[in-house]
A and B are shown apart, each in its own frame.
Chain A
Amino acid sequence: MKRARKPIFFIVAILILAFTFVSISGVYSYKGDTKTTYVKGVGDIRWGIDIKGGVEATFSPESSGKKVTKEQLDSAKSVIETRMVQNNITDYELYADYSQGKIITRFPWQSEETSFDPESALKELSATSVLTFREGSEYTNTSTGSDGETIYTTPKGTTAKTTFLSGSDVKSAKAGVSQDSTSGQSTYVVELELTSSGAQKFAAATKKVANESSTLSIWMDDTMISSASVDKTKFGQTGITGGKAEISGNFTSDSATKLANQINAGALPFKLTVSSFSSVSPTLGTSSLYAMALAGIVGFILVAIFMILVFRLPGFVAVISLCGQMALCFAAVSGFFPFMKSFTMTLPGIAGMILSIGMGVDANIITATRIKEELYAGKSLDAAITAGDKNSFWAIFDGNITTILVAVILMLVFGPTNILSALFGASTTGSIYSFGYTLLIGNIGNFIFGIYTSRAMTRSLSAFKPLRKKWLYGGAIHEAV
């Protein structure tokens, strides 16, 4: 019986250390210059704006007392969204708070950006948007957005010269479903409604485009958001009249809504103002990260030394388990597990992780002191370990549940959509959210590693003859087994 348990220690320890190593380093392969990431490591962690540097801002519409509708807020949101993409900011968070009529955003500074100028970035994001309908679809630059779609910017040639309509000519745009009269298939479309002068301009424009078999493109500021051709046989004579039009294409429900929002934004009746904002420069964040890493490593070493000196063999086991717990924390924030989204880490998030080093050995301490007690009560080594494990379980359970409860509340209250949203509106995933998350993962890790793997390792080691001395488990020195 006892013999069979021996290899368990090595299996568990090697698994934990391998997991620790992989979760820190990640697994990559290089084919020429392209790097393929199989497993994400510490290097892939997304850092929050307090580390990477960045901006958090709240925009509110300047509506002179009038209530802003949900549609208008959505439109304003898509203006900001379009501009973010245009500025090559892909890693942003953006929330519309309908109850308060506000839009909240948070984005890190781009790494390739050398000058840090949050003020002009914000001004750019909140500037009144210009929507234009232009002839042709000639562009100067292309880039790829975060969703893999190509973005065309800066009109040129005829497109730059000829503007048919502007935002004020559009009354409204909305996503709709159109049914083909012959095939009966329904497709998503964007329905446009124009003002009376807009309708005239639109008829002329579509007539021209149809006859010259050119295209009609829609631009927001400097970015082309759509381009469409006009059916010559249908509209070649008069153009599209009546002030109503449909843009069809390969739309999904989402992309149709997005385009409609963008078009509406060009006709927004209000200006956006930045009501609150904060920014952090990248340099400040980098030194904080370095400092936190240093604190974490020194703290880990101190705890390791302490545990081994005080608890000897169970202490040694605890250190291995603690490695596993930290690895789980890294894995949970780097996107190591395919089913968990990568998480934005902030300074308090790292503090939560460091804190969980200290609290993480608690399960081991409780078990080890219990084993020690049983040994002093005169039990044999095996009986002491069994009793110690059994008696400490509920204390660890109750203790951990309370901390987990707190962590969950932190996440629920300070997350983007939270249980208090109805009362206080949406918010960005601020630093407190991140703190709650790492605390939660640390505690779950403490539960898994501090209880199960620690125990398996201790039992397995206690099967080795040279390790069967009671003093190794906290008993008096030189006492027989």
Chain B
Amino acid sequence: MKQFKIRFSKNRKIYYAISIGIILVGVICNIVFGAKLDIEFRGGTQLKYSYTDASGAVTQTEVEKTVKNTVKRDASVLLNKNVKNSSGTATTNNVTIELSGTDAISVETQQQIAKDLQTKFTNSKFSLIESSSINPSMGQKFFVKCLVAVAITIVLLVLYIALRFRKIGGMSAGVMAIVALLHDVCMVYFTFIFFQMPINGNFIAVILLILGYSLNDTIIVYDRIRENRTEMPAKTPIGELVDLSINQTLSRSIFTALCTVMVIACLCVVAAYYQLTSVTTLALPMMIGVVSGCYSSVCIAGPLYVGWNEHKQKKQKKGHAKPQAASAEE
């Protein structure tokens, strides 16, 4: 059997550099593009209508004007032509209207918008396909709730690892696993930034899932380290031990990630084809998260753990050396 002999802990600076590089690019993107909170979190109104348009009368500016007249607020309008339906044929056009400001509109106003659009474009059958109108206070509450959920999850997961991996230094293993997790969370976040996807409930679901997935991956590696620790001579350098463990579990890590990515990719392609935004914005970041989760548990968590322990050993040696020197003086 081909046994990989990649020296992960020795090359760790390269991996760190790659990750830090990507994170830097992400941060720059974040500053340039900015994060977009979905109305689910910040409050606001979004309406989506389908319409038929044989004559081409429905234009962005016209719709915008009509809506503005009705609501007395600025509105941004996005036309989306030839949307596919379930049989894969293009049938209707969609228009997404987003009202500025974060206040929800009343049911009456929403009815008025539909009515005015219908009067303005008599031959285009406007029908509502999706609408959401959320008050800012409720959105914020939901957002905070999501953050609390993520925080609870992280704490519980660290505790679990610390408990299960006491033998190989539970806390350091736990903390390093969390660093790898945060790395993956960043990657998922940057995916949202990069593709200009609004941050919403899907974002939270992906983050939480990746927390579980990436940790799962890291744990398989730790489990091998724990096993090898008992089997190999106690004096084996920690770097060697970890490298061996990572290499042994590498094919499993890759295969599992591959299977998962394969399935999510199907989901992503199908969702993109049928223009199911709610599914695409779930599947795409999830795919990136799984790849990053696989990478981080192999190239970040393990090597970081080695770095931490080597650092600790050095410190201990120094600590040992001093009392000896002291005794020599006596």
User: Least Cβ distance of A445 to chain B in Å?
Assistant: 15
Report the minimal beta-carbon distance from B105 to chain A, rounded to whole angstroms.
10
Interface status of A150 (Cβ within 8 A of chain B): no
**What is the chain B residue whose CB lies nearest that of A299?**
B263
CA A274 – CA B132 in complex, angstroms?
12
Task: Give the nearest-CB partner of A53 in chain B.
Answer: B129
Chain B interface size, as a band, is: 35 or more
- Give min CB distance, A276 to chain B, whole Å: 4
B residues near A361, Cβ cutoff 8 Å: 256, 259
In the docked arrangement, what's the CA distance between A279 and B46, Å? 10
A156 vs B255: C-alpha distance when bound (angstroms): 71
Q: What CA separation (Å) do A373 and B129 show in the bound complex?
A: 55
Tell me the smallest distance from the CB of A406 to a CB of chain B, in Å: 3
Interface contact B141-A406, CB-CB below 8 Å: no
Q: How many angstroms from the CA of A431 to the CA of B200 in the assembled complex? A: 12
Partner of B130, one of A284, A358, A362, A414: A284
Chain B residues with Cβ below 8 Å from A354 are: 263-264, 266-267
A381 smallest CB distance to B (angstroms): 15
Contacts of B259 in A (CB 8 A): 303, 306-307, 358-359, 361-362, 365
Chain A residues closer than 8 Å to B85, beta-carbon distance: 283, 287
A275-B138, A278-B134, A410-B205 given; A119·B260 CB < 8 A: no
Q: Are A299 and B107 in contact (CB under 8 A)?
A: no
Task: Check B219–A399 contact: CB distance below 8 A.
Answer: yes
Q: Contacts A347-B279, A424-B141 given; indicate if A295 touches B267 (C-beta within 8 A).
A: yes
Is B107's CB under 8 angstroms from A119's CB? yes
Q: A288, A290, A398 — which one has the most chain B CB atoms within 10 A of its CB?
A: A398
Cα(A362)–Cα(B85), bound, Å: 35
> How long is the Cα–Cα vector from A280 to B50 in the complex, in angstroms?
12
Contact A288–B220 (Cβ < 8 Å): no
CA A115 – CA B135 in complex, angstroms? 27
CB distance from A16 to the nearest CB of B (A): 19
Instruction: Give the tally of cross-chain contacts (CB within 8 A).
Output: 231
Task: List the A side residues contacting B318 at CB < 8 Å.
Answer: none
- Are B223 and A355 interface neighbours, CB within 8 A? no
Question: What CA separation (Å) do A119 and B115 show in the bound complex?
Answer: 12
B107 near A277 with CB under 8 A, answer: yes
- Interface flags for B148-181 (1: CB within 8 Å of A; 0: not) read 1100110011001000100000000000000000
A348-B256 contact given A275-B135, A299-B262, A409-B156, CB 8 Å threshold: no
Question: Assuming A278-B134, A280-B130, is B255 touching A365 (CB within 8 A)?
Answer: yes
**B266 and A50 contacting across the interface, CB-CB below 8 Å:** no
In the complex, A391 has a CB within 8 A of chain B: yes
**A407–B248 alpha-carbon span in the complex (Å):** 29
A302 within 8 A of B: yes
CA distance A227 to B310 in the complex (A): 82
B263–A284 contact, CB under 8 A?
Answer: no
Q: List B contacts of A286 (CB < 8 A).
A: 86
Does B58 interact with chain A (Cβ within 8 Å)? no
Contact A391 B279 (CB under 8 A): no
Contact check, B133 vs A281: say whether CB atoms are below 8 A apart. no
| Complex Cα gap A360–B209 (Å) | 14
A464 CB–B CB distance under 8 Å? no
Query: Given B131, B144, B153, which contacts A277 in the complex, CB threshold below 8 Å?
Result: B131
With A295-B270, A355-B286, A369-B255: A409-B107 Cβ-Cβ less than 8 Å: no
Determine whether B301 belongs to the interface, using a CB cutoff of 8 Å to chain A.
no
B36 beta carbon closer than 8 Å to chain A: no
B211 within 8 A of A: yes
**Could you list 29 examples of A-B contacts with CB < 8 Å?**
A58-B135, A118-B131, A119-B128, A123-B107, A274-B106, A275-B104, A278-B130, A281-B129, A284-B129, A290-B274, A291-B86, A294-B270, A299-B264, A303-B259, A303-B262, A354-B263, A362-B216, A365-B255, A366-B252, A376-B1, A395-B219, A398-B219, A402-B215, A403-B216, A406-B153, A406-B157, A424-B145, A431-B205, A474-B1
Given A277-B132, A279-B131, A420-B145, list of 12 further CB < 8 A pairs? A58-B138, A118-B131, A122-B107, A291-B274, A295-B271, A299-B264, A303-B263, A306-B262, A354-B266, A358-B261, A398-B164, A402-B157
